[in-house]
Structure 1
Amino acid sequence: MKPRSRPTLARRLASGLATLVVLAGVAVANRPMVAVAGEALHTYQINRESYKKRYGHWARLPVPHDFRVNAIHAALLHTGKVLIIAGSGNNRDAFEEKSFRTVLFDPGTEEFTEVPTPTDVFCAGHTFLPNGNLLVAGGTKSYEVLEADVEHAAGVMKIKNESPDHGDRVFDKGTRLRSPAGLIYLTRTRVTVPAARKVTHGAHIMVHAGAAEVWVDAEQKGDGAVVQDPAQYTIDGLTGDDAKNLYGVADKITREKQEYGGDRTSYEFDPVAERYVRTGNMRDHRWYPTLIGLTNGEVLAVSGLDQFGRILPGRNERYLPGERRWVRAPELKRYFPTYPSLHMMADGQVFYSGSNAGYGSDTEGRTPGVWDVERNRFRAVPGLRDPRMTETSSSVLLAPAQDQKVMILGGGEIGESPVSTARTDIVDLDERQPRYRPGPDLPKPARYLSTVLLPDDTVFTTGGSSGYRGGAYRGEPRSDLFNSQIYRPAENAFATAADSTVGRNYHSEAILLPDGRVITLGGDPLYDETGKNAGTFEQRIEVFSPPYLFRGTRPTMAGGPTEISRDETASFATPDAARITSARLIRPSSVTHVTDTDQRSVAVDVVPAAGGVEITVPKRAGLVPSGWYMLFLIDDRGVPSVARWVRVR
């Protein structure tokens, strides 16, 4: 087949203008065609090379029907594939059916594959380990029950065992407990109650009762079984000493809303084998936890709701990768709201930006600050404007990471408020007394804003909504935001980018791909576009090509090592060495609820060498945590190469 010649730009412009003239003429006689003409004009404009060079370009990704999932979590693996985790996908029916899903997307081939998902990792926490495995921990043990749907009074019962002599006692699901008033409550699950412990204090022996908690539900429906005061309950069927030593206590049993319950399961997802590998259980059940890697290779897990939907009161824990087990970290007791945004600092301390997902106290744990995880000291960072609007806000360690600046963007009022902010503030953590200072406002108030570091040190921001989960804001039935923008640190200003075509709010993600594009997924609106009916989860996927991909030929990179140590120099082959002005190591994203503790872009020294360039990796582990990175070479026009995967040890 003879290759078809491409029309000249002038011919294409003339053809496009002629089409618009015809459409406009038809529109005069047939008014509905005005919309068609407007769409044609828009399509023509956004596909011009001059437009794409300035604003970038969006494209829909075709997703086969069998692989359309509710993207709750997403991570870029060092194989180049995108891991898309739904679990039950915020779908109670899927949870009850134990239908849990994970999908892998290969951007190189645009192929999707299904991965078996053993438990409901919906709303788990995750972060990359130094070996490239993705640690996924926590998730959903039970779904919420709204107050209107609670027919039987329920609550948490603590079963106590005051006998040290007969070992642990097991009570099956449905065990009956009786209140002083004769009301019956049934255990929701099987529960094991440990034996009491004998403790010697000098000449005295003290007995400390064993205890275990379990949900109980009233046998009868309605308010008659509601108990508002602490009480002790007898266990049906026990006699003699057992009846005296074993009993239940509860503070209250009500028909209040029952929150999501956290799970304890933990996995390492192996990118090469493409499967979940079971590890030891977490010490606490956690739903909405944050995981962050430490400089010694361990992982710290903080916050979350326990199995009864209660916010954990500052109990944190550590994961030991070499042993694949979790240990308690009482030395690091600190309270945070759920999904707190944490950033590893160059000196190994952890910065809490103030961003969070909302569950928890409306006052405690919301102050931004520097957390010394060696001494468990916390130093508050002042200056944040709109300090009560940090729920569903975003924060990012600006590039290059050596600058140690963190930016917080948007956010909303506490709870399900429709109020949000366009505020951005920036803190320089290298200052002796760091404090937030005003950044440029976003074009519109925004929650759930996705932020992606690009190889040219800019930050691409997209998606979000002004109202809670895309809901009403200032009279509008839906408040999804389609505008995108690129923050340029050198100018401390936003530049307009092309508008997206898919609204994304709660449960959405955006991730930088090795070819320099950005993939966007998810979105879980509370209502449909009318603002009256329930919304449906957004399963379409879009990919954004930043303006730098339309500035001409990209530099290329060939040979070079796949592993390099900190404070080491390595050579990488490229025919474009003369025009390479910088290089960046960008850690792949692992994001959920706009929380991403992994994302960072590190400047590496780059000098021309025979047949290519030499790069030198910085020395500090807090600046360059061990793990896999995308190495980008950037030329004098700000155009990045396709990344090469490099493991930093």
Structure 2
Amino acid sequence: MADVVRRLGMHFVTLLDRTAGAAQLVSTSAASATASGVQSRPPSSSTTGEPVLGAPTSTAASSSATGVITTDGTCGATNNNMVCGNWYQGSCCSMYGYCGNTTAHCGDGCQSGPCLKGAAPAAPGPSPAPANANPGAFAVVGQAGVPAMHAGLLPNGRVVFLDKVENYTQIKLANGQYAYSAEYDPATNKPVGLAYKTNSFCAGGSFLPNGTFLAVGGNAPLDFIDPTIGDGFTGIRFLTRSSTDASLNGQSWVEPGNKLSSARWYPSVQTMADGTLFVASGSLNGLDPTVLVNNNPTYEILSPQGSSHGVSVPMEILVKNQPYYMYPFMHLLRDGSLFVFVSKSSELFNVATNTTIRTFADLPGDYRTYPNSGGSVLLPLSSADDWSPDIMICGGGAYQDITSPTDPSCGRIQPLAANAAWELDSMPEGRGMVEGTLLPDGTAIFLNGCNRGAQGFGLAQGPTFEALIYNGSKPLGQRWTTGASTTIARLYHSVALLLLDGTLLVAGSNPVAQPVLTPSAQNPFVTEFRVEVYTPPYLQGSNANKRPTDVVLSSKNLVADSQTFTVGFTVPSGAQTAKIALYHGGFVTHSVHMGHRMAFLDTTGWVSGSTVQKLTVKMPPNGNVAPPGPYVVYVVVDGVPAVGQFVQVS
């Protein structure tokens, strides 16, 4: 660990020397950060609200620029009308007052410098999508117990919901306070309240290699609501469940006291091949992100046990894309690099050397990450193309206001290809807060969100009710179909994730600062406790009778080193093909599915015409393709999945 801290610390000092703006972000040196493990920050407002960027006041170049050149990378009307001059990251002043050279800086809303003035590449508009022949169905099945801000499928097959400190939930704990987390059992559709110690408002998370669910970061304590909950900005929370030990069910979150090295509200997390966790971005205090000193565009490394190495290191793609720098999309690729996307920009990042390997052209269209998040999925991996990654990003919006249009366009890129470029497609309508979830048959489902507005309290309208089904194996222009529609608005603070039985659990929508149960003119969309299940096409109608059954795995402790194991199962008469999917659902929040991935594994042994099958299955070659942690194995026969089984991958 000392070597890691020394390496990070050296780069920390180097990058601070390069960027005066980043230097203002970090009030401790590498040495003091290592010693204390906690980065100081300006005080939080300790309220239940959030800052709102608002609509840009002008899309024209500012005529009142002073000619005074920035010294920290801030500029424009809110920063004494300074100009960017030859600021090393770029000389366009963005609409929110940061210097850079991306389309987010130089395009619509550019205040001064070489504005693009409408010359940014155009993204496609909405594309009609035919109805799916088998659209699936939504059904309300239960009550969540708590607002579902964060969620994850646990190794016991239950779903954990994690929320911020609220003045009302459906469950009270033994101490008389409301529960802000619940363990929901899809078998009974009942929640059990769980306690935690620190406010997890807008946290990030992942799974540790041993299968423990992890939540990091959060926001300030709200003593006037609950004096038993502490400061969550540097919080690290653990929840352990097991597929074999039912005594763990219902046990509360564990917080032994280890902390992040710096405050993080809205961080993203990715588990790496060696079991360490890459934690990136966040706010230092939950205040206005157009003010440089409030922001934390850095990363830090947690050990496989969830302890910080003690140093927060500035990350240039985050520094450069302020204020659209929080909750970046991150995907681990087969070569060990990270694909990182924020705002409209993306890169390959080498965590081991702390360097940018490659940058990509900006994705045309609007902003794609918080507070105008769309959704991102790493499409299914397989050995057929040497585990090459194919990444898709859909939706987004123009600015953080209820009047913001939303973006119907999608970009798809193969970031390890020599000629990597964005392939553009579009959904039937613009959608913000839309989230993509992989399905075991290889398709993806896009749910939730709005047609107008942005993330934030009371900032969305035009809920989008329809499921959108994406089949990436079809030709461009034929990949989208429309599925069933719900009647429940799923706006800010909603979640969707795959269950063991192959259905999707859909919950949440809490677009108010504190729970409101009755709609009004002031709050037309209120706190939603109803839990739905969406049944995908592959389980709808007669497909429900085509499930493989009697699944038996030779081992549930698997290693990503090309080892083999066997899977036995029974198939319906006349079955033609079988696939084995290795599936990780990740940490779900704010339409970001952290760590989410699926790989189709190589198999041998299929016997045509037999109803009893036993396949030999080959694991992925390394932890870059399948990082350590809990996974679900789905047997998929002719597109229909059996009930999945949890395995532990190391």
- Asked if the contact 1:512/1:589 (under 8 Å) is kept, the reply is no
> 2:381 is matched with which residue?
400
Match of 1:8 in 2: none
Q: CA separation in 2, counterparts of 1:529 and 1:121? A: 26
In 1, Cα distance between equivalents of 2:496 and 2:643: 18
Paired position in structure 2 for 1:380: 359
1:453-468 equivalences under 5 Å are 453-468=438-453
1:589 aligns with 2:586: yes
Residues 385, 418 of structure 1: alpha-carbon distance in 2 compared, 3 angstrom cutoff: same
- 1:625 is matched with 627
Q: Which residue of 2 aligns with 1:88?
A: 165
Is the contact between residue 72 and residue 89 of structure 1 (CA under 8 Å) also seen in structure 2?
A: no
CA shift, 1:625, in A, is 0.7
The letter for the 2-side match of 1:505 is L
* Residue of structure 1 equivalent to 2:648: 647
One-letter code aligned to 2:534: F
Letter of the 2:140 partner, please give it.
Answer: R
How far apart in 2 are the matches of 1:571 and 1:477? 49
How far is the alpha carbon of 1:583 from its aligned partner? Answer: 1.2
1:427 correspondence with 2:413 = yes
SS at match of 2:549: coil
**Structure 1 residues 136 and 633: CA distance shift in structure 2, 3 A:** same
1:90/1:419 CA distance change after superposition, 3 Å:
farther
1:589 to partner: Cα distance: 2.9
Aligned-pair CA distance for 1:343 = 0.9
- The answer to whether the Cα contact below 8 Å between 1:135 and 1:269 also exists between their aligned partners in 2 is yes
One-letter code aligned to 2:216 = A
Name the SS of the counterpart of 2:642 in structure 1.
coil
In structure 2, do the counterparts of structure 1 residues 483 and 471 end up closer, same or farther at CA, with 3 Å as the change threshold? farther
Within 5 Å, give how 1:187-586 maps onto structure 2.
263-272=233-242, 273=248, 274-279=251-256, 280-307=258-285, 309=287, 310-322=293-305, 324-330=307-313, 335=318, 337-354=325-342, 366-378=344-356, 379-390=358-369, 391-400=372-381, 402-416=387-401, 418-439=404-425, 441-469=426-454, 478-491=461-474, 492=476, 493-525=479-511, 532-533=522-523, 535-550=525-540, 551=543, 552-560=545-553, 561-566=555-560, 567-576=562-571, 579-586=576-583
Give secondary structure in 2 for the equivalent of 1:339. coil
Tell me the C-alpha RMSD between the 2 structures. 3.1
Separation in structure 1 between the aligned mates of residue 168 and residue 308 of structure 2, nearest angstrom = 30
Alignment correspondent of 1:74:
151
- List per-residue Cα deviations over 1:427-471 (Å, max 9, x = no partner): 0123114221212x1111100002110001101111100122589
2:62: which partner in 1?
none
> 1:595 offset after TM fit, Å?
1.2
Give 3-state SS (helix, strand or coil) of 1:498's partner: strand
Q: Which amino acid aligns with 2:182?
A: V
Which residue is 1:363 aligned to? none
- What is the deviation of 1:389? 5.0
Q: Are residues 123 and 69 of structure 1, via their aligned partners in 2, closer, same or farther at CA, if it must alter by over 3 Å?
A: same
Larger CA deviation: 317-326 vs 407-416: 317-326
C-alpha distance after superposition, 1:88-141 (max 9, x if no partner)? 15989x9xx974511001112323211122221121111111111011111111
- TM-superposed CA distance for 1:647, in Å, is 1.2
2:538 aligned counterpart, secondary structure: helix
Deviation per CA, 1:519-543: give whole Å up to 9, x if none: 0111133698775446421111111
Cα separation, 2, equivalents of 1:410 and 1:291 = 21
* 1:371/1:311 CA distance change after superposition, 3 Å: farther
> Which position in structure 1 is the counterpart of 2:196?
117
Does the Cα contact within 8 Å between 1:470 and 1:479 map onto a contact in 2?
Answer: no
Q: Report the residue type matching 2:473 in the other structure.
A: A
Matches within 5 A, 1:600-619: 600-608=597-605, 612-619=614-621
- The letter for the 1-side match of 2:284 is D
* One-letter amino acid of the counterpart of residue 599, structure 1: H
Partner Cα separation in structure 2 for residue 641 and residue 83 of structure 1? 23
Residues 268 and 281 in structure 2, CA contact (< 8 A), matched pair in contact too: yes
Structure 1's 285 and 555: CA in aligned 2 closer, same or farther, altered over 3 A? same
Instruction: Give the alignment's TM-score, normalised by structure 1.
Output: 0.66
Point out which structure has higher relative CO (alpha carbons under 8 A, 6+ apart).
2
- Note if contact 1:57-1:498 (Cα within 8 Å) is conserved in structure 2: yes
Give the number of the structure whose alpha-carbon radius of gyration is greater: 1
Residue identity opposite 2:337 in structure 1: Q
Structure 2: state its 5+ residue gaps: 1-130, 225-230, 243-247, 288-292, 320-324, 607-611
Distance 1:98 1:287, change over 3 A: farther
In structure 2, C-alpha distance between the alignment counterparts of 1:544 and 1:308, rounded to whole Å? 34
Cα distance in 1 for residues equivalent to 2:185 and 2:547? 22
- Between the aligned partners of 1:459 and 1:144, the Cα distance in structure 2 is 42
Q: 1:90 to 1:518 in 2, by over 3 A?
A: farther
How many angstroms does 1:277 deviate by? Answer: 2.1
Alignment pair present for 1:59 and 2:139: yes
Cα-to-partner distance string for 1:182-232 (whole Å, 9 max, x where unaligned):
xxxxxxxxxxxxxxxxxxxxxxxxxxxxxxxxxxxxxxxxxxxxxxxxxxx
Report the alpha carbon displacement of residue 295 of structure 1 after superposing the two structures with TM.
1.5
5+ residue gaps, structure 1: 1-50, 146-260, 356-365
CA gap 1:139/1:57 in 2 versus in 1, 3 angstroms: same
For the residues of structure 2 that align with 1:424 and 1:325, how far apart are their CA atoms? 35
CA distance in 2, matches of 1:611, 1:422: 43
The amino acid that maps onto 1:276 is W
User: Percent identity among equivalent residues?
Assistant: 25
Give per-residue Cα distances to partners, 1:64-100, cap 9 Å, x unaligned.
Answer: xxx53111100001111100011315989x9xx9745
d(CA) in 2 for partners of 1:411 and 1:128? 27
- Distance in 1, Cα, partners of 2:415 & 2:178: 44
CA contact (8 A) 1:138 1:266 kept: yes
Q: Deviations over 1:132-169 (max 9, x none)?
A: 10111111115799xxxxxxxxxxxxxxxxxxxxxxxx
Q: Distance in 2 between matches of 1:331 and 1:318?
A: 12
1:108 to 174, 187, 195: 187
Check whether the contact 1:455–1:640 (CA below 8 A) recurs between aligned residues.
yes
Q: Are 1:418 and 1:472, in contact at CA under 8 Å, matched by a contact in 2? A: no
Amino acid at match of 2:271: G
Letter in 2 for 1:330: V
Task: Give me the whole-angstrom Cα distance separating, in 1, the residues matched to 2:495 and 2:359.
Answer: 29
Output one character per residue of 1:388-409: Cα deviation in whole Å (capped at 9) or x when no partner: 4542111110123634111111
Cα 1:54/1:604, change in 2 over 3 Å: same
Q: Structure 2 counterpart of 1:110, which letter?
A: N
- Kindly tell me the number of residue pairs found equivalent between the two proteins: 465
Aligned residue for 2:163, secondary structure, equals strand
Change in 2 beyond 3 A, CA 1:389/1:624: closer
Quote the Cα distance in structure 2 between the aligned partners of 1:583 and 1:647.
Answer: 16
Q: Distance in 2 between matches of 1:383 and 1:121?
A: 32
Q: Is the 8 A contact 2:469 2:480 kept in 1?
A: yes
Residues 574-607 of structure 1, C-alpha deviation per residue, up to 9 Å, x if partnerless? 1239644211101023111111122111010122
Letter matched to residue 644 of structure 1: Q
Q: Normalising to structure 2: TM-score of the pair?
A: 0.66
Tell me if structure 2 keeps the 8 A contact 1:72–1:85. Answer: yes
